[in-house]
Chain A
Amino acid sequence: MWAFINKLRSPKWFYAISAKLQPLFWVAATLLLLVGTVWGLAFAPADYQQGNSFRIIYVHVPAAFLAQSIFVSMAVSGLVFMVWKIKVADMVATVMAPLGAAMTFVALFSGAVWGVPTWGTWWMWDARLTSMLILLFLYLGVIALRGAFSSRDSGSRAASVLAMVGVINIPIIKYSVDWWYTLHQPATFTITGRAAMTMDMWAPLLIMVLGFYSFFIALTLMRTRSEILRREANKRWVRELAEETN
């Protein structure tokens, strides 16, 4: 266990191991996303109430899942960085933040697009949309705070603290927004409770969720590798690597 953690400390080791893992996740992501998209958009049956517009969930739900998991992973990486001073953890957190913000935006945007045929409006102060919007602000705060420091180390530690504070607040925000929404629920809209999905609607969704996660892991590995090269540019092993490729 400790030997493994000590290995994780070394960016060089991470660079080597991620080179082997990365192609696996890219292949998995491509296959899963292709199968999931074609199945979900072309073969899954249309919803009896919402018709074809329900197919937006094949993008919306995986993006929303990722938006939340990325924030949690970012906070965990921040904790690992603060406690064990593992620099790779901070690099991972750095490259995850923009992807998380992008996924939150995708979830919000797809939710708004779905709202047009379903609610007849682009935006509703729906509990889930509102929580997502707040999550987007939390992401932007972490990104902005990291960028505001001139010293990278201070920026990293400040962003880690903020991510941890944010992750404690996410459940509180989520439940208070849910509670607020039930209290103020507009009477004009009655959103039908989600009927249980049939297997042939549900299976492509599961595939899409797995595909999004694979994509996230693959992209994070790839971007972490670039981040390692950038931050370790004057280390010997990186120079040797550069000479080899030249």
Chain B
Amino acid sequence: MHAPQGGLMVAIKATLKRDLTLMLRRRGEVLNPLVFFALVITLFPIGISPDPELLASIAPGLLWVAALLAALLSLDSLFRSDYDDGSLEQLLLAPQPLAALGLAKVAVHWLLTGLPLALMAPLLGIMLSLPAGSYAVLALSLALGTASLSLIGAIGAALTVGLARGGVLLSLLVLPLYIPVLIFGAGAVQAAIFGEGIAAHLAILGALLALALMLAPWAIAASLRISING
């Protein structure tokens, strides 16, 4: 039995590296939310109307809701494979605090889900004839907002990872908690279209992220303990 080697930073770095490597080897899982995002956006003009003016007026909300659902869809796999192969138990046994290691996992999830969604959104914005001048705000608000979504969603994922069919339940738990982020995220894009100040919206999105960064890791750690020991 070796004494635990290295401090907190070593463990966080190792978790980041491991998760990044694993995710990059399963490219399908990284691409699926993006394809889902594009598909859902395709459904709206077909279901509502191809009229560019109508689409432009609802584009901010549509893009934000679709991105939110795509982020939600990817949550179930956040802890699933680690739970199945037992590496989540090793994470719990590690001498470093579970909250920090969970945060590292969430960071990788955001990097490979939230950030690509934010980068892809302007492209889909063009297809919905989103008014010019709001593209950068759309990407920025999504990049900020999806970080909060990943943190909040990870609580739900950690709570349901021990359940055989937790997918639908996960969305039921997490979606109500997503509403503030949706309001200010879509609000930022709307404000940019109407030429109003966007700083307030982005500041509140940042505040929500700060709050989630502070509190969510503890809830994630507690939930993982419940799911593993139960």
Which chain B positions have C-beta within 8 A of A137?
A: 172, 175-176
Given A145-B159, A154-B230, A158-B159, verify A134-B169 contact (CB < 8 Å).
no
Q: Which of B176, B187, B227, B230 contacts A180 (CB 8 A)?
A: B187
Chain B interface residue count, Cβ-Cβ cutoff 8 angstroms = 27
B139 CB, min distance to chain A CBs, angstroms: 22
User: Which interface residue of B183, B208, B229 has the most chain A CB atoms within 10 A?
Assistant: B183
Q: Which of A134, A153, A161, A164 contacts B179 (CB 8 A)?
A: A134
Given A161-B223, A183-B187, verify A144-B169 contact (CB < 8 Å).
yes
Q: Which of A134, A153, A172, A173 contacts B230 (CB 8 A)?
A: A153
A176 at the A/B interface (Cβ < 8 Å)? yes
A40 at the A/B interface (Cβ < 8 Å)? no
Within 8 A of A (CB), among B192-230: 208, 211, 215, 219, 222-223, 226-227, 229-230
Within 8 A of B (CB), among A66-82: 82
Q: How far is the CA of A172 from the CA of B207 in the complex (A)?
A: 11
Q: Which of A158, A177, A183 contacts B226 (CB 8 A)?
A: A158
A17 at the A/B interface (Cβ < 8 Å)? no
Within 8 A of A (CB), among B91-113: none
Q: Judge whether B183 and A144 touch: CB under 8 Å.
A: no
Q: Judge whether B227 and A154 touch: CB under 8 Å.
A: yes
Q: Judge whether B176 and A149 touch: CB under 8 Å.
A: no
Interface size class of A (residues with CB under 8 A): 20 to 34
Q: Judge whether A141 and B219 touch: CB under 8 Å.
A: no
| Chain A residue nearest in CB terms to B208 | A172
Stretch at the interface among B34-42, B126-134, B160-168: B160-168
Q: How far is the CA of A179 from the CA of B229 in the complex (A)?
A: 41
| Chain B residue nearest in CB terms to A169 | B177
A233 at the A/B interface (Cβ < 8 Å)? no
Within 8 A of B (CB), among A94-150: 134, 137-138, 140-141, 144-145, 148-149
B112 CB, min distance to chain A CBs, angstroms: 24
B79 at the A/B interface (Cβ < 8 Å)? no
A223 at the A/B interface (Cβ < 8 Å)? no
Q: Which residues of A contact B (CB under 8 A)?
A: 82, 134, 137-138, 140-141, 144-145, 148-149, 151, 153-154, 157-158, 161-162, 164-166, 168-169, 172-173, 176-177, 179-180, 183
